[in-house]
Amino acid sequence: MGIKSPLAYQWRKYGEKRLQYGLNFAYGGTGVFDTGNLEPNMTTQIGFLQGLIKEGVYTKRDLESSLALVTVSGNDYSAYISSGGSRQDMPSFMWHVVNQIGINLKVIHDMGVRKVLVSSLQPIGCLPQQTVFSSYQQCNETENAASNYHNQMLQQVVTALNNATKDCSFLILDLFSSFTTVLKNKGDYTGSLKFDTPLKPCCMPTSSDVYCGSRDENGKALYTVCNEPESAFFWDSVHPSQAGWRAVYLTLRSSLNRIYS
């Protein structure tokens, strides 16, 4: 799209010339609420932007010509389950998460950002951490139904926000549909990218108690990497590869061009 990748917030003092292209406030493993990894949640991340506005780093005019992208990947739900949350109470917790997303989107808009884009939840039942139980042959449709439930509530929240503003300032980036399309077609719609086994990751741990990238005390790798990473949609158990994201982008490109225009 011809847009420079935003500088990470933590590196802002080392790349002042790039601040004009925006900042990336995201932290890996974080969520709408605290996820237990001691990194700032979404509300705190938004607070970082508010602090920069007070410092005069960004002006009202800057915000009015900007687009904010808010991404949610499901870390709140993983943290909820790992901390002992029940499946029975998951729907009410999901509403709690989505409602807070709506509050955060409004805060960003009220700062002066005219376009606020929020991602839908990807089909989490198709992540390798789920498909491993079918030898990477099929998605977990129960988990995908949970993604759909989140996305339906998100649509309701975004619709309500747009109804409360003068124009459609809030938009959804449909990652669920784009992921599903690429995985179903085993590649992007142009045919330039192909994934023979799209549900299988490229980087795989040698046992269930380690991760991609883990090493033992002698520095020996406790994982294996596929011979052709460009032919894998997923890099590890939860993250798409560069080729995977490229395929998703190609599916979304026309929508993104309309949003950015």
Each residue of 224-235: pLDDT tens digit? 999 999 999 999
Each residue of 8-46: pLDDT tens digit? 999 999 988 899 899 999 999 999 999 999 999 999 999
Each residue of 161-186: pLDDT tens digit? 999 998 779 999 999 999 999 999 99
Residue 261, pLDDT above cutoff 80: no
Listing DSSP states for 150-206 in one string gives HHHHHHHHHHHHHHTSSS--EEEE-HHHHHHHHHHHTB-TTSSSB-SSTTSBSEEES
pLDDT computed for residue 188 by the predictor: 72
End-to-end CA distance of the chain: 11
Q: Are 170 and 116 in contact (CB under 8 A)?
A: yes
Helix (H) or strand (E) holding 225, with range, is strand 223-225
pLDDT bucket at 3, cuts 50 / 70 / 90: confident
Mean pLDDT for 118-133 is 98
Say how far residue 46 (Cα) sits from the centre of its chain: 16
pLDDT bucket at 192, cuts 50 / 70 / 90: confident
pLDDT bucket at 142, cuts 50 / 70 / 90: very high
Q: How many C-beta atoms lie closer than 10 Å to residue 100's C-beta?
A: 18
- Please name every residue paired with 173 in a beta bridge, in sequence order, or none if there are none: 119
pLDDT bucket at 5, cuts 50 / 70 / 90: confident
pLDDT computed for residue 259 by the predictor: 84
Query: Pick from 44, 173, 42, 142: which is nearest to 97 by CA?
Result: 42
d(CA 150, CA 170): 17
Mean pLDDT of the chain: 94
pLDDT computed for residue 112 by the predictor: 95
DSSP state of 127: S
d(CA 60, CA 55): 12
DSSP state of 67: E
Structure tokens at 151: 């996305």
Percent pLDDT > 90 in the chain is 89
| pTM beyond cutoff 0.85 | yes
pLDDT bucket at 1, cuts 50 / 70 / 90: low
Contacts of 30 (CB under 8 A, 6+ apart): 37, 39, 40, 41, 42, 45, 75
Return the sign of the alpha-carbon dihedral for residues 172, 176, 182, 185: negative
Query: Pick from 30, 48, 197, 31: which is nearest to 101 by CA?
Result: 31
Query: Pick from 213, 228, 131: which is nearest to 179 by CA?
Result: 131
Mean pLDDT for 185-191 is 79
Mean pLDDT for 211-222 is 96
DSSP state of 187: B
Half-sphere exposure of 110 (CA within 13 A, CB side): 11
d(CA 213, CA 260): 36
Each residue of 69-84: pLDDT tens digit? 999 999 999 999 999 9
Token pair 């198709």 in the structure block, residue: 126
Contacts of 49 (CB under 8 A, 6+ apart): 23, 25, 58, 108, 111
d(CA 77, CA 31): 9
pLDDT computed for residue 48 by the predictor: 98
Residue 207, pLDDT above cutoff 80: yes
Residue 190, pLDDT above cutoff 90: no
